[in-house]
Chains A and B, each alone.
Chain A
Amino acid sequence: MDMNKAIRRLFFGVVALFALLAFFTARWSLFEADALQRNTLNKIPQLREIREPRGAILTRAGGPIARSVRRGRGDDAIYERRYPRGELFGHPVGYSYVKRGATGLEKYYDDQLSGRGEEFISVLDSLLGREREEQSMLTALDASAQTTAGRALAGRAGAVVVIEPRTGKIPVWVSVPGFDPNDVRGDAGYKALQSGDGEPRLFDRVSQSAYPPGSTFKVVTAAAALDSGEYRPTSIVNGDSPKEFSGRPMANSGNVSWGDITLTKALTNSVNTVWGQVGERLGDDTMIEYMKRFGFYSKPPVDLPENQVAASGLRSGGELLPDDTPIDVARVAIGQERLTVTPLQMATVAATVANGGKRVRPHLADEFRDRYGRVKERVKTDEVEQVIGRRAAAQLNQMMQDVVNEGTGGAAALAGVNVAGKTGTAETKGGAANQAWFIGFAPADDPKYAIAVTVQETTGQGGTVAAPIARDVFQSLLR
């Protein structure tokens, strides 16, 4: 055979081999690139992460909560996260470390903070290897109110959360015991945080807990009663004690018989038997319907990672029961049965009533800025739904003012400012301890802040333990 013919064939052989090389290059750089990037053996994505600074996280006044500090120089420079306020903002802000991953706002807004959301805007940018641009985040968090809330809890396990009813901004988010995100960096510190001596510290009581709401839930029942048209604030219901519901007796606090009283008075004095009857008259469907409108049965739409927020509703063995599970509606109406809530949900209830019945999406982040301080993005007020009518909301507002002015919530009262609220005391551990609650808002005639306070395993009542904390926080915010 002619040698040239063989040489030509040899060339085609080489072309075939090179095509194989091109195909396999495409396999790793294109087809399977995502899977390789996610492989746990692959440290490149994580190492890339720390070679660029993350944007700072700031309080509403612009004080630093989290910032990136540079270590090393030149090509080997890396950035590491520092949290100058330590434990104060540990829970809502979370942490971001290559070894540990990220939590809280650090995780939820990772795209903006790392600037990765903007990567590869154009082919030109990527050809030039243009670096991504991190954004700083201004939060709604108020350092002094946050400090006040932490001090007011005074080491007792519990939570305080404040929502601005009209905008949904969250100026206060405290969970005690908290943690210092700086401790997460080192192995010893991280192990200590996880070991769980005493109350768990990484657990966020504001949004992950499942507490019995006690009488604070009567606000939801009252909202359903008024908005459905079944009741007015002046409607008369018999408040004798005990009364039988679902074959079991229900008693008022101190087994007091109140006789025929108005709904307003029944809220002021937290009369169980009245609200049990209201619940029975409204029925399962109506109660569940209003609960869902307030946000129960779904995760609160707050700007935190999915796994850090829990839904409120009836639970059994830790699992949320479907909304068509048969319930003891009279006991649900007074916040008993298997009902569990997060403080975030109860603050949302208070905020909704305060905002004329309109529920707004709560959010911690407020604004994002680029390196030069230009505003890149503002978190908008997002109205979720009209939960109850304005009239019903106004009536309930008035009723909740009476609770503070004349009833169980007196300790939340402020000089010169009308406060509306509702207390709650749920027995836990078989009656050995109480879950103390206060939810409310202030100023009542022009609501700026709605609050939920809870203290777990206390011997006190909502009115004696939780209400004073709400008062301190309101004072700090309204100053």
Chain B
Amino acid sequence: MKRLLMHSVAATLAFQIAMPAMAQDFDLPPDLPGDSVADLPQDDAVAAPDASDEVPEVAAPGATVPELAPATELAFDEPDAGGIDGLSATLKLETRFFSNTNLDDETEGALRFQAHYFGDYSLGERASLNFNLRARTDIVDGQEYTFSDDFAIDIQELALTYAITPGTSLQFGRINIRNGVATGFNPTDWFRDNSLVASSSAAPADRRNERLGVVAFTGTTTIGQTLIQAGYRPEIDAEPDTLWTDADVIGMGLDRTNPSEVWFLKVTPYINDNLSLTANAVLIDEDPGIGFELSGTLGDNLVLYTEVMGQYRLSLADEALGGSLGTPGFRDDIGVDGDKDWYFQAALGGNWALPERFVGAEDVSLTLEYHFNEAGLTASQIDALSGATGFDRMAAGALYGVANRRQEPLARDQFFTRFAWNDFVQDADMSLLGFYAPADNSGLAQLSVDIPVGRNGNFNLRGITTFGDDRSVYGVNPTKRSLQMGFTYTF
């Protein structure tokens, strides 16, 4: 989250100071240009304290936060951005260039422009409108640009919130309901299926920004120290090629996000000042699921977490192949039995912020996770999948597609790691992440570097590559390598 501020030369000179006038034992405070900057306006009118313990008079509620006085280079945006009363919103504009290489080692270029506008608009004391909108267009080298096909507006979220009391609220509309504490895979994230609108990154954090919310009605309240959420997602059955589904430009994709009726419940009790637990239950049509996420810290540096979900459902192979796809032998080899069953998924891992004795004041962290997907394929089933021939190749393709759509590991066992070094050169951040499927030694790696430009700009370099043979869990990905350059400006 660090942003580099590149002021004008003049401004920089104005704030240039000598080396801090302090000895190494810090006997003296440093000389700072801030010393010449006006203080934040203070509430000097308040009476000086006396011996009483009474709560003193304070500034009027709702008083706006004052701006810093004269030093314009140091001035900050008002907390409510946008210039409209009640509107708190962020607009991000991004340009991204892709150079993608496919499995045949053919490379093509593409350019994407997108605008992402999200925030909320207050509708009085108790109500607000939450929105998250995206417009994007892709220009692909060698393909004719057609506005209707290549330009899209995504209504990722659009929901009304109403606060009944300060601790109880209702929400209705398209909402991004996201669960989970793990980084690489979230078994408890029920609504990830078919939710991605555009994908340029393998990083789960990026992909979370690129998903469609579900149309739902939810309520949140607190009983004692336990926070309870309940909600309902209706099934929406709409005609294809309409605004509600996949019409050109502004198809809302409700058939994707609301394909079935869902009731859900989340309970977050207070355990202690270290452990955090959220338990959940879900009913998808008539199929139940139950799960939890648990996290805690060990020392100042290590966060450990796990999340587990059990659901009555079809395995990936059963869902993909249905009742008829693939030869009987192939179906047997990859475990298709046509029945729903209880399948468990789990993510177990930790995030370690390297301590000062290793990295000094540097901000370096390492994440390691193990992912288990009982609905995925074992090593022998993956072997059978990679050996598919003839008609079974189509069945294999369907299985890869379902795992991708559901955003869950195709392999039963998988590892994930992420190494992050913030400010590794000045204020530039670097991250390296990888997924690895031990069943066939395939995986995916992504290196990303973010270089802040000015207060609001960010230049991003990203490289993604898969490894493993062309029929492995990750090697089958049609994009073998991707090199990207992006620039984002945030208003």
Partners in one complex: no
